[in-house]
């Protein structure tokens, strides 16, 4: 590539056009962690003494997030949701990467099985529902993540959404002028009536930047895309946004950060009259209607929610062989 690290003058492994910054591996890790710390503090994501759970999927973003939080001193635990997606053994492979990583950093990992908790894995719920696969899966994941965090006493739920994810969602919401979604799109969603705080500490990094962080730190992650993702609109939108970025470097970050600083508040005001939430008459979780969207979908798809079925892997600090590359 031929770039020189701006900080130590060594050989750069990454050049970030939008920051006009080339860095070597060591300086990149330091820079990355600094950015995460900055996002956490600026966006009021985490406070002293709070318990944080990281939703991990076995992909580069969520594993990098868990790694970074651990490096920054947060005693984060992991939550893996076994979706039971069997094509190409997708769920099996992603679980394997997650379990291996949790052992490496010696942190507890909680595994929730969708099939055991609802009676059917995601593909069966998709077949029985009128929603798209990602809509069913997203609904199930959001429900399980929040319910798990509440039932297990976590204050904060962290997810690995990166800049590309956030910008694609923003564009999609803006294309349809989804005012409610625009009002709530933020790297920090404060806790409220039955919902824990949700944070996205990697929101300033592109997919490439989180992948480079994972590779430098020797994190083995699942590279296969979910078999359902091929028809996801998000992938299409990400392609368009990458073309814009190529022509006008920095557009993605600017689009998103300017939305946060200038526009989001307007949508929030518009939504000021809050939706009244009440306990779902079936599962008691907060809902805008008598029966929540999760329970309606599960019933329609012929499933039955019997409570979260959780397996916990302790991975205590005393386990041997549990070190990441940069901790050696
Ligand atoms: Fe779920 Fe869609 Fe993501 Fe696959 S791509 S894991 S179906 S949300
Ligand atoms: Zn419900």
- Residue 134 Cβ < 6 Å to ligand 1: yes
230 band by pLDDT with thresholds 50, 70 and 90: low
Whether the full predicted model's pTM is greater than 0.75, yes or no, is: yes
83 band by pLDDT with thresholds 50, 70 and 90: very high
Whether the pLDDT of residue 328 is over 50: the answer is no
Instruction: Give the separation between CA 26 and CA 287, rounded to whole angstroms.
Output: 47
Closest ligand 1 atom number to CA of residue 57: 6
- Residue 190 Cβ < 6 Å to ligand 1: no
Q: Are 136 and 129 in contact, with CB atoms under 8 Å apart?
A: yes
Tens digit of each residue's pLDDT (9 = 90 or more) over 103-118: 999 999 999 999 999 9
- Ligand nearest to C-alpha 293: 2
87 band by pLDDT with thresholds 50, 70 and 90: confident
- Residue 229 Cβ < 6 Å to ligand 1: yes
Largest separation between any pair of C-alpha atoms in the chain: 62
Q: Which domains does the chain have, with CATH numbers?
A: 31-287+295-314 (3.40.50.620)
- Which residues contact residue 68 at a Cβ distance below 8 angstroms, ignoring those fewer than 6 apart? 32, 33, 36, 201, 202, 213
Tens digit of each residue's pLDDT (9 = 90 or more) over 134-184: 999 999 999 999 999 999 999 999 999 999 999 999 999 999 999 999 999
Mean pLDDT score across all residues of the chain? 92
Alpha helices in 105-250 (DSSP H): 114-118, 122-127, 133-151, 163-175, 179-184, 207-216, 233-247
Tens digit of each residue's pLDDT (9 = 90 or more) over 33-51: 999 999 999 999 999 899 9
Instruction: Give the separation between CA 213 and CA 33, rounded to whole angstroms.
Output: 10
Tens digit of each residue's pLDDT (9 = 90 or more) over 24-33: 999 999 999 9
């Amino acid at each position: 590539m031929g770039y020189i690290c701006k900080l130590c003058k060594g050989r750069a492994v990454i050049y970030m056009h939008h920051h006009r910054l080339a860095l070597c591996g060591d300086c990149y890790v330091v820079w990355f962690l600094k950015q995460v710390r900055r996002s956490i503090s600026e966006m009021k994501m985490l406070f002293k003494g709070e318990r944080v759970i990281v939703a991990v999927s076995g992909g580069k973003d969520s594993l990098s997030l868990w790694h970074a939080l651990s490096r920054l001193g947060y005693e984060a635990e992991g939550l893996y949701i076994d979706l039971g997606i069997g094509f190409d053994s997708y769920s099996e492979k992603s679980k394997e990467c997650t379990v291996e990583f949790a052992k490496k950093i010696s942190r507890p990992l909680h595994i929730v099985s969708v099939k055991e908790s609802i009676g059917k894995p995601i593909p069966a719920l998709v077949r029985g529902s009128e929603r798209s696969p990602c809509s069913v899966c997203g609904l199930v994941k959001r429900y399980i993540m929040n319910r798990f965090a509440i039932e297990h006493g976590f204050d904060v739920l962290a997810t690995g959404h990166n800049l590309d994810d956030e910008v694609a969602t923003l564009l999609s919401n803006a294309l349809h002028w989804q005012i409610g979604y625009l009002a709530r799109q933020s790297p920090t969603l404060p806790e409220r009536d039955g919902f824990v705080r949700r944070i996205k500490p990697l929101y300033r990094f592109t997919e490439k930047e989180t992948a480079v962080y994972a590779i430098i730190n020797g994190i083995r992650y699942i590279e296969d895309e979910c078999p359902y993702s091929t028809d996801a609109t998000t992938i299409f939108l990400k392609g368009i946004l990458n073309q814009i970025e190529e022509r006008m470097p920095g557009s993605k970050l600017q689009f998103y950060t300017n939305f946060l600083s200038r526009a989001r508040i307007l949508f929030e005001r518009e939504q000021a009259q809050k939706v009244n939430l009440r306990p779902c008459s079936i599962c008691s979780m907060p809902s805008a209607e008598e029966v929540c969207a999760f329970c309606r979908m599960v019933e329609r798809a012929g499933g039955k929610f019997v409570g979260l079925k959780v397996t916990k892997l302790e991975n205590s600090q005393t386990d041997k062989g549990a070190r990441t590359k940069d901790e050696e």
